[in-house]
Amino acid sequence: MRKNTFFILCSIFFGIYNSSFAQTKYSLTFYNCKRNHIGMINNGYDSIPVTIYDNDSNQKIEFKKGDLPGDFYFITDKTDVRIETENIFKQKIDTIIKLNKANNEHRICEDKFKDYEFDTSVEKSFKAKEKWILQFFSMGCFHREEESIELVFEKGKAYLILKENREKKQTMILSEARKNELVFFEKKLKLMNRPNAGCTNSDSYKIISNTENYKINDSSCLWFGYNLLKEKLGFK
């Protein structure tokens, strides 16, 4: 009887030990993948909601914050997890991660964007062959920028004109790919109105067209969408 009890206790002990040993510690870093830069949560934006689930059972997995802002880690023996959070555009996003012990450090792209249905002003201007203007003004501790990108039509062709301090700097033909980049940019722009986000750098965007005029202020230091747009369009 004592031997049986001993073996039962040993089996329970080693079962618990093996289960604990099989679990692995994983770390998460929230990253701005387009800019190849550390993310907003790591910069102290701890109010961003984060939930981790076992992707098979849909059960929550507890996680802890480390010593540094945004330093997240969790311990599990699961192979697939789902991370639910918000991107920088305040959209809810899911990221599924395949876990393996050989790689226990993972990144979440916080700038991952979910496309949505929206008739942009640049699309309306293109269809009507009317002028469209994006004015950009940025100011920080050590810089001041004033630029604009204008969509114009001449002799049946569409052109983009880049101006710095209201002086023409570069002109290019509007291709289908460039038009798509402008549409994609404006969809993101509509979600980035954060005038009091706390960063010392402040970016102001003003859209001027015959169908719609509006202004977006972004002081989050999370997106820097104008510079990304210029790069995508091919402006130097």
Query: Looking at per-residue confidence, does 45 or 39 come out higher?
Result: 39
- Whether 13 has a pLDDT exceeding 50, the answer reads no
How confident is the model over 116-130, as a mean pLDDT?
96
Say if residue 90 is in the same domain as residue 194.
no
Rounded to an integer, what is the distance from CA 189 to the centroid of its chain? 12
Closest by CA position to 30, among listed 82, 80, 83, 79: 83
42, 67, 72, 38 alpha-carbon torsion, rounded to 10°: 20
Tell me how long the chain is.
236
- Domain membership of residue 20 (yes or no) is no
**pLDDT one-digit tens code per residue, 42-91:** 554 556 788 999 999 999 999 887 766 556 889 999 999 999 988 889 89
The domain tally of the chain equals: 2
Give residue 2's pLDDT: 53
Give me the phi and psi of 231, to 5 degrees please. -65, -45
What is the radius of gyration, based on Cα positions, of the chain?
A: 25
Say if residue 206 is in the same domain as residue 174.
yes
- Domain membership of residue 104 (yes or no) is yes
- Domain membership of residue 18 (yes or no) is no
Rounded Cα distance, 84 and 86, in Å: 7
Rounded Cα distance, 210 and 100, in Å: 54
Say if residue 87 is in the same domain as residue 130.
no
- Domain membership of residue 196 (yes or no) is yes
CATH number of the domain residue 98 falls in: 2.60.40
Say if residue 131 is in the same domain as residue 216.
yes
Say if residue 104 is in the same domain as residue 135.
no
The token pair at 191 is 């979600």
- Count of H-run helices and E-run strands, the chain: 4, 14
Say if residue 157 is in the same domain as residue 101.
no
The single-letter DSSP state of residue 56 is T
Give residue 5's pLDDT: 56
Give residue 38's pLDDT: 72
**pLDDT one-digit tens code per residue, 18-27:** 444 478 999 8
Average pLDDT, the chain: 86
Give residue 18's pLDDT: 43
Q: Give the residue numbers spanning the domain of 175.
A: 121-233
Task: State what percent of residues in the chain have pLDDT above 90.
Answer: 59
**pLDDT one-digit tens code per residue, 130-156:** 999 999 999 998 889 999 999 999 998
- Domain membership of residue 221 (yes or no) is yes
The token pair at 33 is 């993948």
Where is the domain boundary, 109, 144, 175?
Answer: 109
Rounded Cα distance, 162 and 217, in Å: 21
Say if residue 177 is in the same domain as residue 84.
no
Give residue 1's pLDDT: 52
- Whether 37 has a pLDDT exceeding 50, the answer reads yes
